Amino acid sequence: MPKRRTKKSRKPAGSPLLRRLTRGPTVLAVAVVGAIAGFVVLVAVSVMTTGDDKIERIQDISAEGRSRGSDTAPVTIITFGDFQCPMCKRFAETTGNQIEAEYIANDLVRLEYRNMAFLGAESVWAAEAAQCATDQDKFWEYHDKLFEKQAAENSGALSGDRLKRFAGELGLNQEAFDECLDSHRHQQLVLDETEAGQEAGVTSTPWAFVNGETVKGAQPFADFQRVIDEQLEEAAKAQ
């Protein structure tokens, strides 16, 4: 190959094959294919490593005594609530009851209550108290009572004394309950559950995972219905 070439008479060097392979359009095609391949790999990794783990991490914490509905129900709803949250109160007293009547009673849905105790110290105490009630198999009654007595956040409405009084009013063993609450027996569970929820993406309450699909906020019953029905369909297909 001559070493000197003038500008005007230059010819591209290299074999005909190399010249073909390094033509602009060919290189572009390689670039496009490479980009798409890289993208596919990244998405595949992303899809394989995310998704359902978050629900498993939540369910590693036992919700025994805090769920309603058949264990064999095809759809599980995990609801996160804070006892100081007004929208959670609304959800519990409206949509929650409708879900109970339409789906839980018919063995279609199992609902778990989980703590997202993030609105302040009283949120955590109330959650601990509800856990102490769970020890005496009275979670749901205590849950209803807490929402009934809800007032302004961290205003003393859910102070230790009042929490203990609620237990008395519901007929719980006062001594056992007080001991449980004073010793903060369930504080770690409440904190762990709150953290597991946050890791799963919960940032506000109420928050629900319907077979893993998020429903954020105190949505009207119709919205929940749509999502539940979709999940029921999918579950039926999978069988």
Partner 1 sequence: MALTSKSVLIRRPDGARFLARILQWALLLVAFAGMGISAYLSFVHFNGVPLYCESTGGCHTVQASEYATLLGVPVALLGFVLYAGIFTAGLVSIRGSGWPAQAAPFLVFALALSGVLYSSYLTWLELYRIHAICAWCVASASLLAVLLATASAELVVSGRLSEDRGEAMPAE
Tell me whether residue 114 or residue 164 sits nearer to partner 1 (CB atom). Answer: 114
**Interface residue with partner 1, options 15, 49, 72, 239 (CB under 8 A):** 49
Measured from the Cβ of residue 127, the count of other Cβ atoms closer than 10 Å reads 28
| Residue 7 in the binding site for partner 1 (CB under 8 A) | yes
Q: For residue 7, is it left (φ>0), alpha (ψ between -120 and 50) or beta?
A: alpha
Peptide bond into 206 cis (omega under 30): yes
Stretch of 18-26, 113-121, 142-150, 180-188 lying at the interface with partner 1 (CB under 8 A): 18-26
Query: What sign has the CA pseudo-torsion 88, 93, 99, 104?
Result: positive
SS3 115: strand
- Smallest distance, partner 1 to C-beta of residue 165, A: 36
Q: Does 53 bind partner 1 (CB under 8 A)?
A: yes
Residue 121, classed as helix, strand or coil, is: helix
Q: Alpha-carbon distance 75 to 199, whole Å?
A: 22
> Nearest approach, Cβ of 160 to partner 1 (angstroms)?
32
At closest approach, how far in Å is the CB of 22 from partner 1? 5
Region of 22-30, 59-67, 72-80, 140-148 interacting with partner 1 (CB under 8 A): 22-30
Contact pick of 30, 101, 121, 151 for partner 1 (by CB under 8 A): 30
Beta strands in 140-216 (DSSP E): 207-210, 213-216
Min CB(85)–partner 1 separation in Å: 16
Instruction: Provide the 8-state DSSP code for 220.
Output: -
Residues in a beta bridge with 81: 115
- Answer yes or no whether residue 44 interacts with partner 1 by CB under 8 A: no
Helix H or strand E encompassing 4: none
Residue carrying structure tokens 């109420």: 206
> Segment 151-210, which members bind partner 1 (CB under 8 A)?
198-201, 203
Using DSSP, state whether 211 is helix, strand or coil.
coil
Question: CB-wise, 23 or 165, nearer to partner 1?
Answer: 23
Single out the residue of 50, 64, 222, 238 in contact with partner 1 (rule: CB under 8 A): 50
DSSP of 50-87: SSTHHHHHHHTS--TTSEES-TT-SEEEEEEE-TT-HH
Binding span for partner 1 by CB under 8 A among 39-47, 78-86, 106-114, 170-178 = 39-47
List interacting residues with partner 1 (CB under 8 A). Answer: 4-5, 7, 10, 12, 14, 19, 22-25, 27-28, 30-32, 34-36, 38-39, 42-43, 45-46, 49-50, 53-54, 198-201, 203, 214, 216
